[in-house]
Structure 1
Amino acid sequence: MCSIEKINDKATKLAFDKRVVSATQQIHPYVKHRLYIAESTGIIPKKMYTSNGIIDDSIAEFYENGFDVDSDIHTIKIKLFKIANSNLETLFKKEAFHKDTISTNSILEEELDDLEEHYTMNADWDFVMNEELNDISYKQDHKHKHLFLYDDNNSSVLSEFDAEDIEPNRSKQILGSLYSWMPLHVSSVIDLLVFGKLSFEDIAKVKSIEVSRVEFIYEEVKKQFKDHLD
Structure 2
Amino acid sequence: MVIKQLARHKEENDFEQFYNKISAMEPDLRKFMTRSLKAAENQGAIDRGFYNADELLDEIYLEMFEEFADYMDKEKIKTILFSKAVQKIEEKKIIEQETPEYISTEEMLKEELNALDEQFTMDADGDLILNTELDDISYKQISDRPNNVILDTTLEQELIKKLDLNDSLLPSLERRTTFGALFTNIPPRTKSVLELYAFGNRSHFEISEILEVPETVIDRIMEKMNERFRLIE
TM-score, length-scaled by structure 2: 0.71
Residue 207 of structure 1 deviates from its aligned partner by: 0.7
Hey, what does 1:66 align to over in structure 2? 68
Matches within 5 A, 1:69-84: 71-72=73-74, 74-84=75-85
Once residues 30 and 59 of structure 1 are traced to their aligned partners in structure 2, the CA distance between those partners, rounded to angstroms, is 15
Q: Contact between 1:35 and 1:51, CA under 8 Å: does it hold in 2?
A: yes
Cα distance, 1:55–1:24 mapped onto 2, change above 3 Å? farther
Once residues 66 and 8 of structure 2 are traced to their aligned partners in structure 1, the CA distance between those partners, rounded to angstroms, is 19
Residue 130 of structure 1 deviates from its aligned partner by: 4.5
The DSSP-based 3-state class of the residue aligned with 1:179 is: helix
The DSSP-based 3-state class of the residue aligned with 1:92 is: coil
Tell whether 2:212 aligns with 1:208. Answer: yes
Residue 199 of structure 1 deviates from its aligned partner by: 1.0
Q: Deviations over 1:73-122 (max 9, x none)?
A: x332221111111122222247x75xxxxxxxxxxxxxxxxxxxxxxx64
Hey, what does 1:109 align to over in structure 2? none
Q: Which amino acid aligns with 1:64?
A: E
Work out which of the residue numbers 70, 94, 113 in structure 2 matches 1:133.
113
Hey, what does 1:180 align to over in structure 2? 184
Once residues 125 and 187 of structure 1 are traced to their aligned partners in structure 2, the CA distance between those partners, rounded to angstroms, is 20
Tell whether 2:158 aligns with 1:161. Answer: no
Q: Contact between 1:23 and 1:76, CA under 8 Å: does it hold in 2?
A: no
TM-score, length-scaled by structure 1: 0.72
Once residues 189 and 77 of structure 1 are traced to their aligned partners in structure 2, the CA distance between those partners, rounded to angstroms, is 16
Once residues 226 and 169 of structure 2 are traced to their aligned partners in structure 1, the CA distance between those partners, rounded to angstroms, is 15
Residue 34 of structure 1 deviates from its aligned partner by: 1.5
Aligned length: 197
Residue 135 of structure 1 deviates from its aligned partner by: 4.4
Residue 32 of structure 1 deviates from its aligned partner by: 1.2
Task: Give aligned-pair identity as a percent.
Answer: 19
Q: Which amino acid aligns with 1:42?
A: G
Matches within 5 A, 1:1-230: 9=8, 17-68=19-70, 71-72=73-74, 74-93=75-94, 122-124=99-101, 128-131=108-111, 133-136=113-116, 137=119, 139-140=129-130, 142=132, 144=144, 146-147=146-147, 148-154=149-155, 155-163=157-165, 164-169=167-172, 170-226=174-230, 228-229=231-232
Residue 133 of structure 1 deviates from its aligned partner by: 1.3
Once residues 133 and 68 of structure 1 are traced to their aligned partners in structure 2, the CA distance between those partners, rounded to angstroms, is 38
Residue 25 of structure 1 deviates from its aligned partner by: 1.5
The DSSP-based 3-state class of the residue aligned with 2:200 is: coil
Cα distance, 1:135–1:18 mapped onto 2, change above 3 Å? same
Structure 1 unaligned segments of length 5 or more: list them: 1-7, 98-120
Q: Which amino acid aligns with 2:168?
A: D
Once residues 19 and 75 of structure 1 are traced to their aligned partners in structure 2, the CA distance between those partners, rounded to angstroms, is 15
Once residues 69 and 59 of structure 1 are traced to their aligned partners in structure 2, the CA distance between those partners, rounded to angstroms, is 18
Once residues 154 and 81 of structure 2 are traced to their aligned partners in structure 1, the CA distance between those partners, rounded to angstroms, is 26
